[in-house]
Amino acid sequence: MDNERRVKSRYPLELNVRYQTMGAAGPGAGVGQTLNISSSGMLLACASNIPEGTRLKLFVEWPSLLNGTTPLQLITVGTVVRCTHIGVSIMFDSYQFRTMSRMRSAKVTQMPERVSSTYGSAQPEPISLIAKSSS
C-alpha cells in the first residue's frame, strides 16, 4: 500500500531559509534549510521544535539569479502539518518570488553543510534552475 500523501513532486534542494511564526503561536523566528521542496510544500530542517498547526512565513534564498545579476528569494506562507526527527513538513498557502537586495544577500548567515545527517544518504544529481523576467 502506498503511503504517499503528497500531490506534487518534491525536489531534493538544500536552500537556506529564515522563518517567522504567525498568529496566536506568538512571535518566533529562526533559520533552517530545506531538505526537499515542491510547489505545494517543503521539508524544513531546523533546530527549533515547531508544533503542528503553526503558521509560518518563510524566506527561502533561491539558488539562481534574475538576469544573472539579481538575487531572488521565495517568500511563502504555510502551515506545519507534520513534525519528525528529520524536520517539519510545511504545506504552502501561498508563495511568490521577490528580488532580494544585494546588501541582504551579502549578510546571510552561513549555514552548515548539512542540517540533518540522517536524511538522504544518496547524493542527488544537481538541478539546473534558470530565473526569467516577466518583462
Q: How many angstroms separate the CA atoms of 72 and 60, rounded? A: 9
Q: Does 93 map to a domain?
A: yes
| pLDDT at 11 (0 to 100) | 87
Q: Which domain holds residue 63?
A: 16-103
Question: What pLDDT, in 10s, does the model give residues 27-61?
Answer: 689 999 999 999 899 999 998 888 899 999 999 99
Q: Does 118 map to a domain?
A: no
Q: Does 71 map to a domain?
A: yes
Read off the C-alpha cell for 51. 508544533
Q: Does 127 map to a domain?
A: no
Q: Does 128 map to a domain?
A: no
Q: Does 53 map to a domain?
A: yes
**CB environment 6-26: b (16+ within 10 A), e (fewer):** eeeebebbbbbbbbebbeeee
| pLDDT at 67 (0 to 100) | 87
DSSP 106-134: HTPPPPPS-S-TTS--S-PPP----B---
| pLDDT at 23 (0 to 100) | 77
- 24 or 43, which is more confident: 43
Q: How many angstroms separate the CA atoms of 15 and 105, rounded? A: 13
What percent of the chain stands above pLDDT 90?
39
| pLDDT at 111 (0 to 100) | 45
Number of domains forming the structure of the chain: 1
Whose grid coordinates read 524536520? 87
Q: Does 134 map to a domain?
A: no
DSSP 34-51: EEEE-SSEEEEEESS-PP
Question: What pLDDT, in 10s, does the model give residues 62-89?
Answer: 988 888 888 999 999 999 999 988 899 9
| pLDDT at 82 (0 to 100) | 92
Report how far apart, in Å, the C-alpha atoms of 126 and of each of 62, 65, 123 are. 14, 16, 9
In this structure, what CATH number is given to the domain that contains residue 71? 2.40.10
Q: Does 33 map to a domain?
A: yes
Query: In which band, very low, low, confident or very high, does the pLDDT at 108 lie, cut at 50, 70 and 90?
Result: very low
pTM of the model: 0.68
